[in-house]
Structure 1
Amino acid sequence: MMKTTRSTHRSEWFYLSLISIPLVLLVALFAVGKVRESLAAGDVKAILANWTEEGKPINTTSFANWSNDAASDERSAAWLDVLSATYALWDQFASLKARNEGREEELAAEGEPWAEGLLEEPFVERAQPIIEQVQKLLAEDTSPVWLPSSRFSRHSSISDYHYVNLLTDLMSREFRVAVHEGDRSRAMLTLEMMKQVADAFDTKSKFGLSRFRMFSDQQRYLLIRQSLELGFWTEPEQFEQLRGQLEPLDDLVDRVKHSVASENALDLDYYTSRSTGCLSVEVMGGVDFAPYGTPSAAIRKLLEEMESDTEQIRELEKGLAEYRRKPKREKRNDSPRDYSVVNVPYATILGDLSWFRWGIDGRVDRMQKIDFERRWTLVTIAIKQFRMQEGRWPSELTELSKVGFSPQDCARHDGITLGYEVDNEDDVAYTWYPMAIWDFDVNISRWVTERPDKYDASLRYTRRGEIQVFGVR
């Protein structure tokens, strides 16, 4: 009797079922992706419609219209002529280093020699036609003015925002010459002109020109503090004029919000205009989205991150108000930076996205620092006014309330106050920027509580920049 053997070969249906399982999974995955894409597309459409209704820009076109609505370009051609002439003059004096390329020189008092190698007077003499043209433009009713921006607003229509910085540097040299010649009216006029030019080119949304505003203000505040250290100003009216030039800018938080809205518009325009129509992992810089790369789902993720930025700004505003109301003993247990707009997570989608979000948190930090330099400059003026009114230096900065100055303005946004010390022997009142230095003996960062020597090479550069100490005479 023959034995029957069971076949070891699988049937065709078995192999077809093995093949069909991944196919079914792929179809299911595709279907889920399509559903998710459809839902995400609806969400994106609703979010963008809401942004449009609120007047927020969603691409470069709406961004340009949004940023230009409150600006005028009627005098752009004339300003470009001024900037071109400024650049040409600097080119002729190529050996004269621009102020923002090196350490600041101190002002030369009347009758004192210039520092070796400086050609301030010949340069300023050649610059007079440019200064006269600037004064003429500032007298026009069409100021302020803006310069149209190119795509992505990374540069203005001039080749670099540095051109505008050169104009500020030119005016700062005009001020230096006026101080050296003891011409106070000319020096005051130059400071006013520097502020007007800064106002003329001030814009919140164009990155290059917003950096110019910070550079211009920082230069002006520095010149005022240096002139006070020389004892250049002598009349009460002059100090009132100086204080009148130091009005605060718009609320810093509003400027941060404006920058966030600008970044959002540029990001969205970049992603939605890509020829591939979807976002790659390389472009997204590691943002978590579906592996099948549905574009609307990825954009929805981007929009959620943007909304998170805005929401955290609102939370930080509340937190900062609460922090200011806290007693000092409770503040010691908190980190002031936890309440700072600098903490907004602009880096939530870093990586290659930093092409747009390049150091915005650092730029905001600098905005806050320069606003503090404005208040620091006000402090130095108030110290001099106190001396003229009371016949002595204030024993502490809180006494400045006698000359209409708020003690709160002596502190940074995180509550750290200015350093202050009176040298009775030399009859000088010193202020210095609060800073932290690294103590290598104990390997920790510590705050400078005593007046530092600004010429001490070991302390010159710190985590917060070069040490700045100014006297008031």
Structure 2
Amino acid sequence: MFGLLVLAIGGLLISEWRAAARLNRELASIRSDGLPVDDESMARWFTASTSTEGTAAWAEAIRLTMNSPIPVAHFDQIPYVGTYESPPLIRSAEDWPQEPLVADYLNWMSPAIEQMHLANRYPKPVWQPIEFRGFFTQFDKVIAAHALARLMLLEVEHALAHGDADRALRGLDSLGGVAEAFDWQFCLVVDLIHRALVGVHHNMVLQSMSTGLWDEGHLDQLVKLIGPAGDWEARWEKVIAGERGMMLALLSSPDLSEQINSFGSEFEPLSQLLRFPSQRESLLRGYESLLAIGNGPLRDLRDRADAAERLVFHRNPNGPRGFSWFQLTQMSIMSVFPATQAYAEAIQRSENDRRLAQTGLSIKRFQLRNGRWPTSLRELDPPGRSDPTGPVGPEFDTRRTLSGEWFGYEVDGDQAWLWGAKWRDSKVAPNRPDLEDSEDQNSRKWALIR
């Protein structure tokens, strides 16, 4: 019996020794690719992908915005920065009872607004000081970007209410600049915040079309602000590499046990298991499966994320290249996968929103040139693709969703409606949004074009 025990222990030690050798080779490969493996390399990676030229300007914009809170007495009367909910359509200044109060507030906040316009001139994304501490890294600067965006949304709506096209365009430019300035791409949380900032920019462009303010010159500028489709594959790879770097930073921390235990008492055994090289190797395999989600068409991204989750949680742990028999290792992967699914969905939604905004601008351009609304989206200038030299399939047609469905469109007298897919089921409803039904309005992006 003792001999069998010695053999078992010896076999385990040899297995762990081999796992350690493989792990070191994998880590060396990651380092050679210039990707992060700890807090120090994460800081260098972040610095290399950002610009310091606008650091002070954006920091000042944050300071001016965060240090000038809205008076409590007016908190429920001002949209975006307060709790007041704007009606679904942008009103004229004459039809906006709170407009004088909003005007006074924007005048008070004009130093912050002008500082954002100034900061927007600098290269982006912008570097800001961050103390990287693995999964405990604080994201106060990127969270503060939400406050900048809310203030600029109010500035844009007020300009539109007064029919001031130049001021509104300047505000829309800086609103998009906020998203670009904090497009840091080093972890899921940060990039989900970026996706949200891009979403409010797209939505304000859509809502601005109800004012009937834009001419062809304005439309040219708006098309540039919306921009072409981004390189989502490179983004996915970079963000997941950053997530992996944060996990590796956690594993290399001298207080590994304390940090893992802070997630909850159920994670306490994990802090000991993760000291085994085989378990760390299993984690790297898990991140390989996350990286592989980015391989394939964008339209299937969420489906691949779902499939990857099933692979991680249900594969045979004793099968070829399966996860180690230390099943608690998967608790770490479990903490990543839900966000990965949400992230995949956010990227798809962002591209659908971008296409919807571009289609809305194309509809208005058609109306200005022809003196009438297009009878259907098929009448818009072909090819309607994000890249005229690229693929020609329906999934690349910017008049359609990623799944190939045509956006909803309806002519209503001297105005036209455009709407996208509902977020829950990803289907384009046959009917335009009901302005009396807030749930229906909020379930999809839409525009009333005048």
Q: Which TM bucket (shorter chain)?
A: 0.7 to 0.9
* Distance in 2 (alpha carbons) for counterparts of 1:239 and 1:345: 41
SS at the partner of 1:161?
helix
| Corresponding residue of 1:65 | 44
Does the alignment pair 1:51 with 2:30?
A: yes
Query: Share of identical aligned residues, percent?
Result: 23
CA deviation after TM superposition for structure 1 residue 179, in Å: 1.2
Counterpart pick for 2:112 among 124, 130, 137: 130
Flag the 1:163–1:354 CA change in 2: closer, same or farther, 3 A.
farther
| Corresponding residue of 1:246 | 226
Which residue type is aligned with residue 120 of structure 1? V
Contact 1:73 1:148 in 2 (8 A): no
CA deviation after TM superposition for structure 1 residue 357, in Å: 5.6
SS at the partner of 1:244?
helix
> Per-residue displacement from partner, 1:349-396 (whole Å, max 9, x unpaired)?
764555556613202311221222121111111001111222222122
> Per-residue displacement from partner, 1:222-248 (whole Å, max 9, x unpaired)?
222112122122x21111111121113
SS at the partner of 1:150?
coil
| Corresponding residue of 2:179 | 198
**Aligned runs of 1:373-388 on 2, under 5 Å?**
373-388=353-368
| Corresponding residue of 1:304 | 285
| Gapped regions of structure 1 (runs ≥ 5) | 1-20, 322-335, 439-444
SS at the partner of 1:90?
coil
* More deviation, 118-127/205-214: 205-214
User: Which structure exhibits the higher relative contact order, with contacts defined as CA atoms closer than 8 Å and separated by 6 or more residues?
Assistant: 2
Contact 1:282 1:352 in 2 (8 A): no
**Aligned runs of 1:309-348 on 2, under 5 Å?**
309-314=290-295, 317=296, 320=297, 337=300, 340=303, 342-343=305-306, 345=308, 348=312
**Aligned runs of 1:153-232 on 2, under 5 Å?**
159=140, 161-207=142-188, 209-232=190-213
CA deviation after TM superposition for structure 1 residue 78, in Å: 3.8
Larger Rg: 1
CA deviation after TM superposition for structure 1 residue 208, in Å: 5.2
> Per-residue displacement from partner, 1:32-74 (whole Å, max 9, x unpaired)?
1101011101110111111112222222221221222121335
Which residue type is aligned with residue 138 of structure 1? N
| Corresponding residue of 1:327 | none
Contact 2:187 2:240 in 1 (8 A): no
> Per-residue displacement from partner, 1:382-414 (whole Å, max 9, x unpaired)?
001111222222122122125966670122223
Which residue type is aligned with residue 30 of structure 1? I
SS at the partner of 2:94?
coil
Flag the 1:346–1:391 CA change in 2: closer, same or farther, 3 A.
same
Counterpart pick for 2:132 among 151, 155, 158: 151
Does the alignment pair 1:112 with 2:94?
A: yes
Counterpart pick for 2:4 among 20, 25, 32: 25
Contact 1:175 1:191 in 2 (8 A): yes
Does the alignment pair 1:362 with 2:323?
A: no
Contact 1:52 1:58 in 2 (8 A): yes
Flag the 1:350–1:378 CA change in 2: closer, same or farther, 3 A.
farther
| Gapped regions of structure 2 (runs ≥ 5) | 313-328, 387-393
CA RMSD of aligned residues (A): 3.6
SS at the partner of 2:95?
coil
Contact 1:284 1:353 in 2 (8 A): no
CA deviation after TM superposition for structure 1 residue 265, in Å: 1.1
Which residue type is aligned with residue 125 of structure 1? N
* More deviation, 342-351/25-34: 342-351
State how many pairs are aligned: 417
* More deviation, 99-108/51-60: 99-108
Contact 1:383 1:393 in 2 (8 A): yes
* Distance in 2 (alpha carbons) for counterparts of 1:220 and 1:252: 18
* Distance in 1 (alpha carbons) for counterparts of 2:128 and 2:304: 28
CA deviation after TM superposition for structure 1 residue 217, in Å: 2.0
Flag the 1:448–1:132 CA change in 2: closer, same or farther, 3 A.
closer
CA deviation after TM superposition for structure 1 residue 297, in Å: 0.9
| Corresponding residue of 1:329 | none
Flag the 1:341–1:190 CA change in 2: closer, same or farther, 3 A.
farther
| Corresponding residue of 1:393 | 373
Contact 2:206 2:446 in 1 (8 A): no
